[in-house]
């Protein structure tokens, strides 16, 4: 992953933005995608349930928190996508900050029709990436069931497999029935999921999916839920966020003691993995695919998008769950604060002590408290 200027093969420098833009999905028409999974399948003959009481409490909570994607959501709600996009300012005025100078670009000729169309495409793209990310979580959590050595973790991870199946189901149905089209997976997200699945170490699956991808998803869902006025989407995201808060807590609790026993060199590998994952997730929000579909060169649009204040705020907020959990795992300050310095360079270290009530309630539950939960919907 390029995070600074690099040398072109033939000489000269490649800027960070150019490096990001050079990563594209060349298999947009593929229906199946295979990744070699190098992990060992681990059986345990120690069936003592509750040996890890924090995971046991999350497992019990997960069993009573199951919901039915078909019957618990009101699919009769009519979604007028054009009205939703217009009402929620989901168009490119928001993406570009409203004050971008587009006079010397093809965007200068866009009127209300083109901006509305872009907003629709942008919404389709965003929810499509959520859909693909949830399938990544489905596959990764099935791998956790297979590879984690503790029975309590296998029990909980099995409930998360069912959660992720529901999430894939609802995003696919919402895109098919309520919106107007899918987008292929973004190349940066695809590369990250491939790396998580291909790594043979069980804790890397936890770190990549439970901490990084799920943490970002939880923040993104909350941000969009607050901004949207569309009732079905808000209801859907509320249910999913309840699940995701448990999943992130599961990852932190599973890794905390394990990471305490790792060497500095082993922790450095985890720090580097976390940073590369963070950069890839940051880079996927340039939405090159949307501009291409609208007939605009991403090379023209990307610099405008990259500097948009609204985009920078949204991008920063996505790390509000990731950074505190890296602190909980001891990853920020290991190796003389290597990851703390990197997150400082990304401008997100200020979230180190960020607290989300529902997220914190999951940790309280794991500790034996009885927090009150907001009702879904």
DSSP state of 63: H
| CB of 246 closer than 8 Å to CB of 362 | yes
pLDDT at 180: 93
Per-residue pLDDT of 62-72, as tens digits, reads: 999 999 999 99
| CB of 88 closer than 8 Å to CB of 301 | no
Which residues in the chain come in under a pLDDT of 50?
1-14, 92-93, 373, 376-377
- Give me the CATH topology for the region 54-64+108-366: Ribonucleotide Reductase, subunit A (1.10.620)
Per-residue pLDDT of 285-312, as tens digits, reads: 778 899 899 998 888 888 877 776 666 6
| CB of 209 closer than 8 Å to CB of 149 | no
Radius of gyration of the chain (CA): 21
Q: Which of 309, 313, 305, 310 is nearest to 102 (CA)?
A: 305
Q: What is the DSSP string of 161-220?
A: HHHHHHHHHHHHHHHHHTSS---PPPHHHHHHHHHHHH---HHHHIIIIIIIIHHHHHHH
| CB of 227 closer than 8 Å to CB of 289 | no
For the chain, domain boundaries? 54-64+108-366
pLDDT at 13: 42
CA 232 to CA 239: how far, in whole Å? 11
> Which residues have C-beta within 8 Å of that of residue 370, sequence separation ≥ 6?
none
pTM: 0.88
């Amino acid at each position: 992953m390029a995070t600074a200027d690099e040398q072109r093969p033939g000489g000269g420098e490649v800027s960070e933005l150019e490096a990001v833009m050079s990563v594209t999905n060349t298999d947009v028409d593929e229906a199946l995608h295979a990744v070699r999974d190098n992990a060992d399948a681990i059986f345990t003959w120690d069936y003592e349930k509750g040996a890890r009481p924090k995971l046991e409490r999350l497992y019990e909570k997960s069993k009573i928190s199951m919901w039915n994607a078909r019957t618990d959501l009101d699919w009769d709600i009519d979604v007028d996508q054009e009205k939703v996009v217009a009402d929620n300012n989901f168009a490119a005025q928001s993406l570009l900050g409203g004050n971008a100078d587009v006079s010397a670009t093809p965007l200068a000729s866009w009127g209300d029709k083109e901006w509305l169309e872009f907003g629709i495409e942008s919404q389709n793209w965003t929810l499509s990436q959520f859909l693909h990310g949830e399938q990544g979580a489905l596959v990764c959590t099935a791998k956790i069931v297979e590879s984690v050595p503790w029975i309590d973790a296998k029990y909980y991870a099995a409930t998360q497999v069912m959660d992720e199946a529901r999430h894939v189901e609802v995003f696919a149905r919402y895109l098919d029935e309520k919106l107007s089209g899918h987008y292929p997976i973004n190349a940066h997200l695809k590369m990250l999921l491939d790396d998580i699945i291909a790594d043979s170490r069980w804790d890397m699956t936890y770190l990549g999916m439970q901490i990084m991808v799920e943490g970002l998803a939880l923040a993104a869902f909350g941000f969009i839920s607050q901004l949207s006025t569309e009732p079905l989407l808000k209801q859907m995201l509320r249910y999913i966020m309840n699940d995701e808060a448990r999943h992130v807590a599961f990852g932190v609790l599973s890794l905390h003691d394990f990471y305490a026993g790792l060497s500095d060199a082993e922790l450095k590998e985890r720090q580097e993995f976390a940073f590369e994952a963070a950069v890839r997730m940051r880079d996927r929000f340039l939405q090159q695919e949307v501009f291409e579909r609208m007939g605009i060169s991403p090379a023209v649009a990307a610099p405008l998008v990259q500097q948009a204040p609204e985009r920078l705020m949204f991008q920063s907020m996505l790390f509000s769950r990731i950074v505190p959990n890296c602190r909980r795992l001891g990853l920020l300050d290991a190796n003389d604060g290597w990851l703390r310095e990197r997150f400082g360079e990304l401008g997100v270290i200020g979230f180190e002590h960020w607290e989300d009530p529902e997220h914190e309630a999951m940790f309280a539950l794991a500790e034996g408290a009885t927090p009150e939960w907001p009702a879904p919907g």
